[in-house]
A and B are shown apart, each in its own frame.
Chain A
Amino acid sequence: MNGNTQSPAEFGGPPEAADEKWLLRLYVAGHTHNCVAALENLDSFCQEHLAGRYEIEVVDLLKNPRLAKDDQIVAIPTLVRKLPEPLRRIIGTLSDTERMLVGLELKSRS
């Protein structure tokens, strides 16, 4: 997807094709309230908006602390959209569906 240039008409609209594969990675640290909430919210969000074309990876940094450095994680929980590119990050419990749509570029900022 590198070198992709967006024309002004495409920019701001939902750019992703409907059959595109989504790879989402959620970084957590143990089973804190925030982390559990984030995972639940993410599950329901994906079922609603990305049904059939998503994959969720959960990384527990307490078990793999080195990954915090490799993926530049500061806040917990952090959701990273690995695919489609470009990489996007959303931090927090992912509780607001509207803002999730904007953050994952499924909907343009209004």
Chain B
Amino acid sequence: MTTQAAARQPLEKSPTGIAGLDEITGGGLPKGRPTLVCGAAGCGKTLFGITFLVNGAVTYGEPGVFIAFDETAEDLAKNVLSLGFDLDRLAEQNKMVVDYVRVERCEIEEVGEYNLDGLFIRLGQAIDSIGAKRLVLDTLETLFSGLTNPDILRAELRRLFHWLKDRGITAVITAERGKDALTRHGIEEYVSDCVIALDHRVTDQLAIRTLRVVKYRGSAHGTNDYPFLITDVGFEVQAITSVGLDHAVSSERIPTGIGRLDTMLGGGGYYRGSSILVSGTTGAGKSTVAAIFADAACRRGEKVAYFAFEESKNQIVRNMKSIDIDLEPHVASGLLVFHAARPTSQGLETHLAAIHRAVRDHNPQVVILDPITNFIAVGSLAQVHSMVIRMVDFLKSHQITSVFTSLTYGSGNLENTDVGLSSLIDTWLLLKAIEVDGERNRVLYLLKSRGMAHSNQVREFLITSSGLDLVDVYIGSEGVLTGSARLAQEARDRADQIVIESETLRTQRSIGRKRQSLEAQIAVLQATLDEEADILQQASSEANGRLVVLAKSRNEMATKRKADLISITGE
């Protein structure tokens, strides 16, 4: 019965506390079993192990032992202190033991048979001293360079893993990645429960870290290469596929800072927590739109984080001042925080980490990234795309309204963004410079805006010394006109109007005159008509009189002859 019950129970897992990894693995590493973490030098293997132990000790009440083969306990403690891991304090609280095992080949001569009982005794001692549940061996393979007899080592490693399993220790064993195999010395043969590969790829001189669960016996797991970050709080895996589309959604509108743009957006502005893309050609005014939004947000007392990847803070402040937008007070009051960095100064992941950190520290309601296109210089299209997805998701999940500016190049379709963002974005403004008659004029299109009725019309976009304004473009028989062409057309329109007005006046007058004369004629005709009517009346009454007389005389005659009388009408 008990064995059946045990068999039916799902694999017990030991949470790592590493954001993202526990999602991919469905709860953590296999409890009471060894897990192999392999990767090339500098991949973050040690940090993975430390994070696993510290989280175990601090969060999950499982003390841990760290066996370091590569660096001394002091060095290790110093190295991870910058990540906020205080190993010494954990050691004082009996939550952690760090033991440095030194194996120097030049100090050791091998004469005859031996085993690794010394190591076992040390492990046992360390584990028992604090009742450890977790163990990290970093990097076990150092033994292979310190000791020469591989047969003994292999046998001893097999024994070690059995020993750890028997004790129910959840162990992480790190190993260097080999040329063709997962590990240089084939340790994966012995650790069959869970294998995690870390990678640190350098493409175009820039580094991206990824994590992959190669194998997880008895458990479903994500199989992709997941990017991960080493941030100031340790290890963080970005499980893209695990990011659900279940952000809280706000229907609150926040003004864009440009009155007529609010009108175009159905009268309120952007949705809070939405992502806005401002794309356009060089000099189309992308940064200006973003900065105006930042200014408007600060005026409402909201906090803004502005990530500038092209200009310095001072340059942006100065440029905005030239169109009467003063960002300086917001900077002084601390509402507006600038983070200026060249995209190429760090890898994508580091940028992402910096953004995460800034958002955590500053807790802004609005984030501006200006421009994201420059990241193309740092990563491949797919990498930038995945970074932006993560960024959008991250910002949305924090209900942060984000503005991304994106440079589109003159050639090619302007409605393609270089990083293929458009599908992620809620509101998309396209700024375009139209060149006609030797001048460039800016126009603004609202390509899309999810969840709100919005204007489909082009607006001309004026950047003046008193700010930014949107005006209707001239749409007439001549097509869409902007700038001086629009002004000229408007002047022409005004002249035409005056001509039409005076013509109308003239026509009105002549019609008035014609009317008067016609009315006079009507009066004459009426008089004639009346006269005729009188004559007719007279004639008819005369005729009647004559008939009566005629009838009377006939009746008189009849009376005389004694005949019938006839009635006399008309009397």
Q: Could you tell me which residues of chain A, from 49 to 74, have a CB within 8 Å of some CB in chain B?
A: 61-62, 65-66, 68-69, 72-74
Chain B residues, CB < 8 A from A89: 107-109
A residues at B contact (CB < 8 Å): 27, 29, 32, 34, 37-38, 41, 61-62, 65-66, 68-69, 72-78, 87-96, 99-100, 102-103
Assembled-state Cα–Cα distance A77/B114 (Å):
6
Chain B residues, CB < 8 A from A65: 121-122, 124-125
Q: Are A76 and B111 in contact (CB under 8 A)?
A: no
Chain A residues, CB < 8 A from B107: 87-89
Q: Are B111 and A96 in contact (CB under 8 A)?
A: yes
Q: Are A92 and B112 in contact (CB under 8 A)?
A: yes
Residue B147 interfacial (CB < 8 Å): yes
Residue B99 interfacial (CB < 8 Å): yes
How far does the Cβ of A98 sit from chain B's closest Cβ, in whole Å? 9
Q: Are A91 and B108 in contact (CB under 8 A)?
A: yes
Residue B110 interfacial (CB < 8 Å): yes
Q: Are B111 and A92 in contact (CB under 8 A)?
A: yes
Q: Are B101 and A74 in contact (CB under 8 A)?
A: yes
Q: Are B121 and A90 in contact (CB under 8 A)?
A: no
Q: Are A103 and B115 in contact (CB under 8 A)?
A: no
The interface bits of chain B over 141-179 (1 if a CB of A lies within 8 angstroms of the residue's CB, else 0) are: 001001100000000000000000000000000000000
Q: Are A68 and B109 in contact (CB under 8 A)?
A: no
Name 24 A/B residue pairs within 8 A (Cβ), A-sorted.
Answer: A34-B112, A34-B114, A34-B115, A37-B112, A38-B112, A61-B117, A65-B121, A65-B125, A66-B125, A68-B122, A69-B99, A74-B118, A74-B119, A74-B143, A75-B119, A88-B109, A89-B109, A90-B109, A90-B110, A91-B114, A92-B112, A94-B112, A102-B109, A103-B109
Chain B residues, CB < 8 A from A61: 117-118, 121
Q: Are B117 and A76 in contact (CB under 8 A)?
A: yes
Chain B residues, CB < 8 A from A78: 114, 118
Q: Are A91 and B122 in contact (CB under 8 A)?
A: no
Q: Are A74 and B113 in contact (CB under 8 A)?
A: no
Q: Are B111 and A103 in contact (CB under 8 A)?
A: yes
CB-contact partner of B118 in A75, A87, A95, A102, under 8 A: A75
Chain A residues, CB < 8 A from B117: 29, 32, 61, 75-76
The chain A residue with its CB closest to the CB of B156 is A75
The chain B residue with its CB closest to the CB of A90 is B109
How far does the Cβ of B178 sit from chain A's closest Cβ, in whole Å? 23
Chain B residues, CB < 8 A from A94: 111-112
The chain B residue with its CB closest to the CB of A93 is B112
Q: Could you tell me which residues of chain B, from 79 to 119, have a CB within 8 Å of some CB in chain A?
A: 99, 101-103, 107-119
Q: Say whether chain B's binding surface is mostly helix, strand, loop, or mixed.
A: mixed
How far does the Cβ of B141 sit from chain A's closest Cβ, in whole Å? 14
The chain B residue with its CB closest to the CB of A98 is B111
Chain B residues, CB < 8 A from A96: 111-112
The chain B residue with its CB closest to the CB of A69 is B122
How far does the Cβ of A38 sit from chain B's closest Cβ, in whole Å? 7
Interface size class of B (residues with CB under 8 A): 20 to 34
The chain A residue with its CB closest to the CB of B101 is A74
The chain B residue with its CB closest to the CB of A97 is B111
Chain A residues, CB < 8 A from B119: 74-75
Assembled-state Cα–Cα distance A91/B121 (Å):
16
Interface centre among B110, B119, B147, by most chain A C-beta atoms within 10 angstroms, is B110
Assembled-state Cα–Cα distance A103/B111 (Å):
9
Q: Are A76 and B125 in contact (CB under 8 A)?
A: no
With contacts A29-B117, A74-B116, A75-B147 known, is A90 near B102, CB below 8 A?
A: no
How far does the Cβ of B547 sit from chain A's closest Cβ, in whole Å? 158
Chain B residues, CB < 8 A from A92: 110-114
Assembled-state Cα–Cα distance A65/B99 (Å):
14
Assembled-state Cα–Cα distance A65/B120 (Å):
10
Q: Are B118 and A76 in contact (CB under 8 A)?
A: yes
Chain A residues, CB < 8 A from B122: 65, 68-69, 73-74
With contacts A29-B121, A66-B125 known, is A72 near B109, CB below 8 A?
A: no
Chain B residues, CB < 8 A from A103: 109, 111
Chain A residues, CB < 8 A from B114: 34, 75-78, 91-93
Chain B residues, CB < 8 A from A66: 125
How far does the Cβ of A110 sit from chain B's closest Cβ, in whole Å? 15
CB-contact partner of B116 in A37, A76, A90, under 8 A: A76
Chain A residues, CB < 8 A from B143: 74
How far does the Cβ of A87 sit from chain B's closest Cβ, in whole Å? 7
With contacts A61-B117, A69-B122, A74-B118 known, is A100 near B99, CB below 8 A?
A: no
CB-contact partner of A91 in B110, B125, B126, under 8 A: B110
With contacts A72-B101, A76-B116 known, is A99 near B111, CB below 8 A?
A: yes
Assembled-state Cα–Cα distance A69/B336 (Å):
54
The chain B residue with its CB closest to the CB of A27 is B118
Known: A74-B119, A74-B122, A91-B108. 13 other contacts (CB 8 A): A34-B112, A66-B125, A72-B101, A73-B121, A74-B147, A88-B107, A90-B110, A90-B111, A91-B111, A93-B112, A99-B109, A103-B109, A103-B111
Q: Are B112 and A95 in contact (CB under 8 A)?
A: yes
The chain A residue with its CB closest to the CB of B103 is A74
Assembled-state Cα–Cα distance A95/B113 (Å):
8
